[in-house]
Amino acid sequence: MSATDNALAEQAVRGRAAGRRRTGGRSWTFYVLLALFIFYVIALYGPMICIYILSFQDVRGGLVFPMKGFSLHWFVDLFTQVRTGDVKGSFDRSFKLAIIVTILTVVISFMSGLAFRKRFRGDTIVFYLMIGSLVAPGLVLGIGIGLIWSYLGLEASWYTSALGAQLSWTLPFGILVMFAVMSRFQNAWEEAARDLGASPMQTIRLVVLPIIAPGLIAVALFGFTLSYDEFARTLQTAGSLNTLPLEIWSMTLNVTSPSLYSLGTVTTIISFVIIGVSLGAIYLIQKRRAARVAND
């Protein structure tokens, strides 16, 4: 084959690819799905944006539009009023609890994921216990745990009984997501590492972990979200100090002012900060990996 033939063939291939990009790449399905995606995001944020806007009303403000004035009155109200309860303290507790739950969920889900990859005696029982923990109504388990705690004479608190109650909820989620993550993992990579003389710990640290790191972030997202927002299991297990969802719940019972909305605004701003940080972490991991590949 001559050089011109080659060039021609190459041109033809490239032309076809370009043609596909022009016609197939951005076809009508793209626009339909884009519209659906935009609709979803609007439906997701629309109500939230309404309450963000309404939280900036002045003292005459009510729960619905139209907007009455503009001030930070309800934010001040949120942090100063006695009747709105201990928002700052409960947020503090919820945040710490969510961080602890997230870390434990990631570590234990990872270990359990590794365990479930190989069959061992009794694995099916543990698996179905985990499913049971997922499907048992949270309120029921919460009450059960609360009763056991008081029976044993232990004092229920957010960092003991509520922590365990939340883990019995986040772990099944984390482990099931871990299943999906690990199925992407090919055993051949591990075998290759072993053949090259890596110890089991080295294989996990240098081969398994880096590959499934993005998946672990998904587990972490699940853990944080589920814990931060958990109500049913925490209700009877948190002891005397409330977590944020419990506090908000008691607020909705006796506060019907835009203070509630300003609480929504504050929690969302915090979420955006956390998301920024995790996105940055993923970006750094990918960059480091790309650099390592380039070096090799």
Q: What is the DSSP string of the chain?
A: --HHHHHHHHHHHHHHHHHHIIIIIT-HHHHHHHHHHHHHHHHHHHHHHHHHHHTT--TT--SSSSP----SHHHHHHHH-STT--HHHHHHHHHHHHHHHHHHHHHHHHHHHHHHHS--TTHHHHHHHHHHHHHS-HHHHHHHHHHHHHHTTPPPBTTTHHHHHHHHHHHHHHHHHHHHHHTTS-HHHHHHHHHTT--HHHIIIIIIHHHHHHHHHHHHHHHHHHHHT--HHHHTTSBTSPPHHHHHHHHHHH--STHHHHHHHHHHHHHHHHHHHHHHHHHHHHHHHHHHHHH-
For residue 80, the minimal CB distance to other proteins (Å) is: 20
Smallest distance, other proteins to C-beta of residue 71, A: 18
The smaller minimum CB distance to other proteins, of residues 4 and 257, is found at: 257
Burial class (CB in 10 A: 0-12, 13-18, 19+), 143: middle
To other proteins, the closest distance from the beta carbon of 76 in angstroms equals: 19
Nearer to other proteins, 6 or 62 (CB): 62
Between 4 and 30, whose beta carbon lies closer to other proteins?
Answer: 30
Q: What is the C-alpha to C-alpha distance for residues 43 and 40, in angstroms, rounded to an integer?
A: 5
Q: Closest approach of Cβ 86 to other proteins, in Å?
A: 15
- CB 12 → other proteins: shortest distance, Å? 14
Q: Closer to other proteins by CB, 115 or 291: give it.
A: 115
- Nearer to other proteins among residue 51 and residue 99 (C-beta): 51
CB of 102 to other proteins, least distance (A): 12
Nearest-angstrom CA–CA distance, 169 and 138: 8
Residue 99 or 221 having the CB closest to other proteins: 221
Q: Is the peptide bond before 66 cis (omega within 30 degrees of 0)?
A: yes
Q: 33 or 196, CB closer to other proteins?
A: 33
The rounded distance, in Å, linking the Cα atoms of 183 and 177 is 10
> Minimum CB separation from other proteins for residue 7, in Å?
22
Closer by beta carbon to other proteins, 241 or else 281: 281
Q: In the complex, what is the shortest distance from the CB of residue 194 to other proteins, in angstroms, rounded to a whole number?
A: 14
- The single-letter code of the amino acid at 72 is L
